[in-house]
Structure 1
Amino acid sequence: MARSVLELGKGRLLVGIDGFTAAGKTSFGHELAERISAAGRPVLRATLDDFKKPWKDRHLYDRESGEGYYRNAYDYDRVRSLLLEPCRSPGATSCVLCSIDPLTQRDHSGETTPLASDAVLIVDGVFAFRPEINAYWDFRVWLQVEAELSVQRGAERDQDRAGSEAESIHRTRYLVAEQIYLQEVDPLPKADIVIDNSVFQKPRIVPK
């Protein structure tokens, strides 16, 4: 995988990692970053979850239903202006890797990170191939897991934070949002590679 990315060229490269909630996108992104860094290229990591709209403003729009989450949770204007546009611009020397921390709700949009001319930016997150940002990626990865496995993994992961409501949130909010995404965007054909990540220890490339 790292070789496929590096073979794209020596300039800046943007990699998008998409897939259902709890498909393993963040861990996969970290592992890919380690391999690319070991090959001698500077790597930056970001997640779309750090570019959601402030939770305090949720009363201004629906963010808690499945459709509302899909339509309203993410701030794609900030994703573009703070992160993707600078990384795509040869003259830019810095970018912002986090807009608002989803846990603390602290605004980090004023904190910049140096941007090397040959940096590889790896971004993970649901809905990464939406029309608002899809054109920025040089390489697209889809991590495939079944919907029910996504719910089970996500509920287990979020048990400490959401308690007994964790499974319901994943089933009625995140899964519904992802089903809308599949219907409206059809993201899998956009991927350069599809990986079955049902078993974390045994990822498997799915023939397209």
Structure 2
Amino acid sequence: MLRNELVSTLAIRISQLKIDHPIRVGISGITASGKTTLANELAKELQNKNKSVIRTSIDNFHHPKIIRYRQGKESAIGYYEDAHDYDSFKEKLLIPLGPEGDLQYQTISLDLEKDEFVHPELQIASKDMILIVDGTFLFKKNLIDLYDFKIFVKTDFEIARKRGAKREEQAFGSYEKAEDMFTNRYHAASKLYLEQHVPELHADVVVINNNLKNPEFS
């Protein structure tokens, strides 16, 4: 399927959902699977259909360095267990937009660059808004029931590793160092996620994203 057709089909399916609160769309997949790109494309397509979209990422809900690196900067277990502040993610974003929520939400809890908590003014959602949020571990068991539509982006580890290493080459100083980090930290953690939570089985849609121009759809 051509990529624009895929994005359009997803946007239509989401738009057709009938619920009495903002539609919470979660997009998960291993690191560098292409979930952020898909989330951005989907948000734009929905906006083009005159939908009001809230767009954010789990990466705006990190723990501070003292917590997320307490098991080591290269630790896969550390990344898997300590990277993200799920309590804030739930309480400040997913739950307020849910069935019993008050519609008062925020899209960030930590300034990652400054490593400081932030307390932005609460925003007020309308019930017809659509939240698009992406993140590697979004479909952990303690989060899975807090989405109204779940998309799992499935990409082979080798392909994702090469994409990610190319993307992060400058950040880590070389392609080889970036590739090692993906192998030993990010993708080792992703394998734990797949084994323990089997996110693909909980998804409403699985996008096979090995071929970026022609992803498959199931």
TM-score (ref. length: structure 2): 0.87
Preserved CA contact (<8 Å) 1:90 1:117: no
- 1:205 pairs with 2:214: no
Counterpart in the other structure of 1:49: 59
**Does structure 2 conserve the Cα–Cα contact (< 8 Å) formed by 1:94 and 1:113?**
yes
Which residue pairs with 1:121 in the alignment? 131
3-state SS, counterpart of residue 142 of structure 2: coil
Q: In the alignment, residue 7 of structure 1 is paired with which amino acid?
A: Q
Find the aligned partners of 1:79 and 1:141 in 2 and give their Cα distance: 18
User: Tell me, which stretches of 5 or more residues in structure 1 are unaligned?
Assistant: none
Contact 2:69 2:82 in 1 (8 A): no
Point out the more displaced range, 137-146 or 53-62.
53-62
State the superposition RMSD in angstroms: 1.8
Relative to structure 2, which stretch is displaced further, 84-93 or 157-166? 84-93
Return closer, same or farther for 1:126/1:19 CA change in 2, 3 Å cut-off.
same
> 1:169-208 to 2 correspondence within 5 Å?
169-206=181-218
Deviation string, structure 1 residues 116-136 (Cα, Å, up to 9, x no partner): 221110110001100121111
SS at match of 2:97: helix
- Partner of residue 144, structure 2: 134
| Matching residue's letter, 2:179 | E
Name the amino acid aligned to 2:191. Q
SS at match of 1:22: coil
Tell me whether 1:2 sits opposite 2:14 in the alignment.
no
Shift of 1:3: 0.9
Q: Secondary structure at the match of 2:184?
A: helix
> Paired residue for 2:5?
none
Q: State how far apart, in whole Å, the 2-side matches of 1:8 and 1:52 are.
A: 30
1:69 aligns with 2:93: no
Question: Within 5 A, what are the aligned runs for 1:102-113?
Answer: 102-113=112-123
For 2:14, the aligned partner's letter is V
- Structure 2 counterpart of 1:9, one-letter code: K
Separation in structure 2 between the aligned mates of residue 187 and residue 10 of structure 1, nearest angstrom: 23
The C-alpha deviation readout for 1:5-51, integer Å capped at 9, x for no partner, is: 11111531100000111111111111111122222221101101111
The count of residues paired between Structure 1 and Structure 2 equals: 206
**1:143–1:197: 8 Å Cα contact kept in structure 2?**
yes
Within the alignment, does 1:25 sit opposite 2:25 as a pair?
no
Query: What is the Cα deviation at residue 73 of structure 1?
Result: 1.2
**Which residue does the alignment assign to 1:100?**
110
Separation of aligned partners in 2, 1:142 and 1:196: 8
Q: Taking structure 1 as reference, are residues 55 and 111 closer, same or farther at Cα in structure 2, changes over 3 Å only?
A: farther
Question: Is contact 1:33–1:43 with CA below 8 Å preserved after alignment?
Answer: yes
Distance 2:46 2:19 in 1: 12
1:88 Cα deviation after fit = 1.1
**Structure 2 portions without partners, runs of 5+:** 1-9
Task: Report if aligned partners of 1:18, 1:141 keep a CA contact under 8 Å in 2.
Answer: yes
